[in-house]
Amino acid sequence: MASNFWSLACIRSPNSSNLSPRPHYPSMPKYPAGVSQPENSLRVIESTAFFSVTGMTCSACAGSVEKAIKRLPGIREAVVGVLNAKARVQFYPSFVNVDQICEAINDAGFEASVVNDDMIERCRIRVIGMTCTSCSTTLESTLLAIGGVQNAQVALATEEAEICYDPRILNYNQLLQAIEDSGFEAILISTEDDVSKIQLHVEGVRTESSMRLIGSSLEALPGVLGIDIDPAANKLSLSYKPNVTGPRNVIQVIESTGSGRYKATIFPEGEGREAYKKEEIKQYYRSFLWSLIFTIPVFLSSMVFTYIPGIKEGLDTKIVNMMTVGELLRWVLSTPVQFIIGRRFYTGSYKALRHGSANMDVLIALGTNAAYFYSVYMVLRSATSSDFKATDFFETSSMLISFILLGKYLEVLAKGKTSEAIAKLMKLVPETAALLTFDNDGNIIREEEIDSRLIQKNDVIKVIPGAKVASDGIVVWGQSHVNESMITGEAKPVAKRRDDTVIGGTLNENGVLHVRATHVGSESALAQIVRLVESAQMAKAPVQKIADRISKVFVPMVIVLSLTTWLVWFLTGKYGGYPSSWIPSSMDSFELALQFGISVMVIACPCALGLATPTAVMVGTGVGASKGVLIKGGQALESAHKVNCIVFDKTGTLTIGKPVVVNTKLLKNMALKEFCVLVAATEVNSEHPLAKAVVEYAQKFKEEDDNKTWPEAQDFISITGHGVKAIVQNKEVLVGNKSLMLDQNIFIPIEAEEILKEIEEMAQTGILVSIDRKLTGVLAISDPLKPSAREVISILKAMKVKSIMVTGDNWGTAKSIANEVGIDDVTAEAKPDQKAEEVKRLQSLGHTVAMVGDGINDSPALVAADVGMAIGAGTDIAIEAADIVLMKSNLEDVITAIDLSRKTFSRIRLNYIWALGYNLLGIPIAAGVLFPSTRFRLPPWIAGAAMAASSVSVVCSSLLLKYYKRPKKLDTLEIQGIRVE
């Protein structure tokens, strides 16, 4: 299955068109003369294959298989599941194939076979009702056990599941049902395919037959692929081909179907999620307030009024035998708290136990029920006895539930803030846009304001100064400066004129632009960034496995500890193991033991462990996105903080990436114009930055000619890492480096050798040109060093990160650039596979290696590295292959990425220390280890408050990452003006 899951093709500086061709966009009606059609876009080919792996018995086996696969070149991602005996591998067919992957698994000691995966699909589902890590791991296991599910990831922090499945065996509706059957509510967020989706609400519909009629009308609309109707809510979800139709056409069909009775409105995908979050916060807030209304009188009558004369006598008034007014009042008030307000804990416990697992709800239900029903027993006993004086714990159960609800309210409030980065990104696009309509001669005949969500491909949008660009597109008229800092993080406005690309959500500053929409809705750069960040937040960091393993045994272990605590204290008290003076006057040894047992049960907190990693990853990736550093998940984040060696490409990475021809030396008697035309006609077919520089240099010789096109090049061949070859005007032209000439048996005279040496000493690149097997000329090309390069290498050295340069350029230029920036270790004239081999060699020496590059030839090395970092202005393939995308193309963001990952993992460690430390200290204290020496004991309601506070503290700890500041040395560079503009 081909996939462009990580595609960020639109995130490219408009001034970097020499690095890769602009995408091809469908033609539009006649527009102002001279509007050229861009060239075809280079698309990366990535495949996903599924393998059946037999012989795995534990997670260590899965880890061995995963490592064996990842050692291969061209592996994007490998996920191995023990439960379903499957491996999902994302790879680049240019570098590796399924047979090689199978062989690697077999060499690791297991048996592998390819599963037919042509129809594998992926969907994302929101899961409502998870309370702790136990819920997410149990649901993940349940999904993996379903036939046809190839892989499943369930994230507690984002409350989402991402599932890969075979649509020939099951569909997403069955997955939704499976989640529902597991006791959770499921809502489909998206499915992965090459179509656009919209959701519409239709007003004016009174019957289900009317909705069906609307559905039938839409099915007849060309380009509509599928419709999912919800008659009860008058809603419909529709998938369509954006090249054929769009939301305006859909709404027009709906409104024309009912003769004007129906009105359709579109709403974004994120709106449902935001509404759900707000509703969840409101629910917990309301539950806490109602609980407080009943709990405060229970607390006062039990803890305060018993010390106030007059009120105490009234509460102690007997009703039936020894049952008092206070006991009955507390029973009546605590009952709705226990069974109505606390119903969610019973529901959660039932769902968990039904599937053979135990979660936090089980602990809360057991603890509060023990206190409540023991109190009921005591009150009933006092009502049937003339001499038995009861001691109740109604305040324990009520206050426990109140504090836990307060904790959950604060937790969901804080968790909502961990994904603020996504919410801010989604709000960048303006609400309205000015749509222009043209006649056949290209004259504007109408301008109307429309909802920006109704923009369709090839619409022309007018963008006035001070307004935001409503859609990704191409400027077809006008010129201005556009501030792209909200998307790329680059503060300096970028000049835009005809044929330049613009990104939706960016700010137009000083001129009017007419923009033809090219990518709308889910295809836009902004939407892709949002999806990338969401996917990154879904992916589990390897360190999360610690919490997952603990969560499987945590709750059962706590229940055993609680029962053991009660039993030890009860038996010790019954058989005189401690003095009777230890027992408070208001209770006996059984009640004291019961309080210790309940305290142990409710103080234990699996939630804090479960939230320690994902909340920090969510905030860290969100902060990175806001600073122009896109981190593709927890795996990349975890690997980046270990990096101690960075391999840099040269062109476009250490250098600006816009090489220019600075000198030409002819070795034969030939007109310079003729020479340049032959060279440019050959190089115009190449995508290499140096080729673009040659073509731009030759353009000045064509300015006076009527014919602006280059002569046709026949039998064009691109020789990777060496140069190009073609037949132009019946002449054989070779353009490339010294190795190409030697391979083609072209004689290189001493004069040319001396020119090359001189060029390389000046940190320039020498390009040799052979015409009809004779060396005819030498081109000197210079690519200026990025102003911040030397300082960045210096800062990395201070961070104890070793810097290495690996380039395909010649040794002379490579050494000159390396000396200038302060890099000692250099490898030059390296082919793409040799770059990857160098990365693997460094890994074999024990280094954790990051590769920073921007070109197609860097892709194998980016994939082979522990962390691949792609310069944002680079090619699609480099961006696809990388783990981290530096959107601003600034070299200093390499430091930002590493520093942010280190800060994030320091925060994760702190979260784990707190979560584990809290449980390791809290449980023994709740069990009464301090009681014999200090008489200090932890009442159950205080234990419950501590448990609630622990989860909140972990989330708040992660939220502190929002205030991340990059290293001060980088700010110093900015003040000094050392930046790449």
Instruction: Tell me the HSE value of 218 on the side-chain side, using a 13 A CA sphere.
Output: 31
3 state SS of 68: helix
Establish whether 548 is a catalytic residue: no
Q: How far apart are CA 527 and CA 541, in angstroms?
A: 24
Give 862-866 contacts, CB < 8 A, sequence gap 24+: 863/73, 863/74, 863/75, 863/76, 863/92, 863/95, 863/836, 864/73, 864/836, 864/839, 864/840, 865/647, 865/839, 866/639, 866/642, 866/643
- Are 937 and 931 spatial neighbours (Cβ–Cβ below 8 Å)? yes
Show the tokens assigned to 842.
């460094």
Between helix 544-574 and helix 133-144 the angle, nearest 10°, is 120
Length of the chain: 981
Show the tokens assigned to 787.
């102003």
The DSSP letter of residue 803 is E
- Are 925 and 916 spatial neighbours (Cβ–Cβ below 8 Å)? no
Residue ranges in 455-543 assigned as alpha helix (H): 485-488, 525-538
627 to each of 405, 441, 655, 893, how far by Cα in Å? 36, 44, 22, 9
3 state SS of 556: helix
3 state SS of 624: helix
Beta strands 501-502; 472-477: pairing state: antiparallel
Strand positions, DSSP E, 490-529: 494-496, 501-502, 507-508, 513-519
Strand positions, DSSP E, 249-368: 263-267, 318-320, 323-324
SS3 content of the chain, % helix, strand, coil (to 5): 50, 20, 30
Q: Give the number of other CB atoms < 10 A from CB of residue 965.
A: 9
- Are 475 and 497 spatial neighbours (Cβ–Cβ below 8 Å)? yes
Q: For residue 697, what are the contacts with CB-CB under 8 A and spacing of at least 6?
A: 660, 661, 676, 680, 779
Helix or strand run (H / E) with residue 127:
strand 121-128
| Nearest alpha-carbon partner for 890 in 621, 505, 488 | 488
- Are 659 and 780 spatial neighbours (Cβ–Cβ below 8 Å)? no
Beta strands 645-648; 802-806: pairing state: parallel
| Nearest alpha-carbon partner for 382 in 297, 462, 322 | 322
Phi and psi torsions of 516, nearest 5°: -90, 120
One-letter amino acid identity for 579?
Answer: P
Q: Give the number of other CB atoms < 10 A from CB of residue 573.
A: 20
Between helix 343-354 and helix 360-383 the angle, nearest 10°, is 120
Between helix 750-761 and helix 811-821 the angle, nearest 10°, is 10
Q: Which of 649, 783, 866, 899 is catalytic?
A: 649
CA torsion 930→932→934→938, rounded to 10°? 50
374 to each of 330, 366, 370, how far by Cα in Å? 13, 12, 6
Q: How far apart are CA 495 and CA 13, in angstroms?
A: 11
- Are 264 and 199 spatial neighbours (Cβ–Cβ below 8 Å)? no
Task: List residues with catalytic annotation.
Answer: 649
